[in-house]
Amino acid sequence: MQRGRAGRAVGAGIADGAGGPAGRRRTARAPVPRGQVATAAAAGAAWPVVLAVSGIGVQHLFWRAYSHTLQEAAWVVLFSAAVPLGGALAVGRLLSRRGAAHGGAAAAVALLLACPTAVWSVWRAWQPPDPATFALSAALSAGAFVLVVHLAQRRAPLRWAAAGSALALLVLAAGCAAAFLGGMRGEAAAAVESADGAVPVLEHPRWELREVWVGGDSLVLTYRPDGPSGGELEVRVPTGPGHGAGGDPCSEGGGACERHGVGVLHRDTTGRLELLVRGGGAATRVAAPFTEPSARRADLLEAGAHLRPATPAERGELKRLAFRGLLRHNVPGLAHW
């Protein structure tokens, strides 16, 4: 009997408390301590610096990207990812010691929320160096960290913030990748379209097209010999109006020249041979790659006799191959894959 009365009394007390001011105070969100806010703000303000340190490795990769192997690229990517992840773990432990709710999760979400703005502003700050942009990034990142510490008092808002932050980071990464690839695709197409005159291709059973790449003011077609005899040949086509039209080595006395029906055979002062073929504009140069020994006289004359203008379908294929060449040249590790 007494137990029943006690249970009813407790139940009535809870019901009264839940509906009264005391219950409302109990369910209201408690204010975040100033120590947690200060810690989150300091960590957020330092976050662009962490990303800048991480970005040094990425910048190193894309400087002369063609010289790095896939293994080197993988190690640099691991280092660049370990720096912000290690920073997030340290911030999570610090927030947990300060009594923040879900400190580790809050630090991870703050990383996601601050990264899109920080990555953009760090990139802007280095091209050219802009302290104002870097300071703005620090302020925005600090605000993001403080916001997440407030949201971390409840799991549902923290989950929504995590989902939104991850989506924003994915959209930023996809946009950067699309802009990067689109720029190279446009560069490849422009190089083929801006060739000074028709793009000559070598049609001969002894040589097959190996790669196409955009080098400075030239479109370079590299042909590999089909067999043990002979070496690789490059067909260098000037791009843009008037590119390469001047500087005739024969008229300037830079070596010896022999005129043939297919073009002019030029031997420079170092003894290297090249064939100059005049088209509608500047001279197309046929020669061995600079890393190979000089091409043989017979090979150059034979190749010059089998040059012809590329068809529209072949020009489309040249654009595709030039884009692939730019990928191999500008994406770390692909040149050695």
| Per-residue pLDDT reduced to its tens digit, 56-90 | 777 778 888 888 888 888 898 888 888 888 888 88
Is 90 exceeded by the pLDDT of residue 221?
A: yes
Contact, 32 vs 150, CB < 8 A? yes
Average pLDDT over residues 181-187: 92
When pLDDT is cut at 50, 70 and 90, the band that residue 10 belongs to is very low
The lowest-confidence range among 120-124, 182-186, 319-323 is: 120-124
Contact, 175 vs 165, CB < 8 A? no
When pLDDT is cut at 50, 70 and 90, the band that residue 158 belongs to is confident
Whole-Å CA distances, 202 to 116, 205, 288, 303: 48, 9, 14, 7
Is 70 exceeded by the pLDDT of residue 262?
A: yes
Is 70 exceeded by the pLDDT of residue 265?
A: yes
Is 90 exceeded by the pLDDT of residue 319?
A: yes
> pLDDT for 168-182, tens place per residue?
778 878 888 899 899
Of 282, 294, 297, nearest in space to 242 by CA: 282
In whole angstroms, give the CA distance from residue 240 to residue 281: 10
User: What is the chain's mean pLDDT, rounded?
Assistant: 78
> pLDDT for 271-315, tens place per residue?
889 999 876 556 788 999 888 888 888 999 999 999 988 888 999
Q: With a threshold of 0.85, does the pTM exceed it? A: no
Is 80 exceeded by the pLDDT of residue 17?
A: no
In whole angstroms, give the CA distance from residue 215 to residue 205: 26
Q: How many helices and strands (H and E) does the chain possess? A: 9, 9
Q: What residue segments make up the domains of the chain, in order of their start?
A: 17-189, 200-246+254-336
Cα dihedral sign, 130-136-139-140? negative
When pLDDT is cut at 50, 70 and 90, the band that residue 248 belongs to is low
What is the share, in percent, of the chain residues with pLDDT greater than 70? 77
Which range has the top average pLDDT, 15-19, 111-115, 163-167, 288-292?
288-292
The lowest-confidence range among 35-49, 81-95, 114-128 is: 114-128
When pLDDT is cut at 50, 70 and 90, the band that residue 99 belongs to is confident
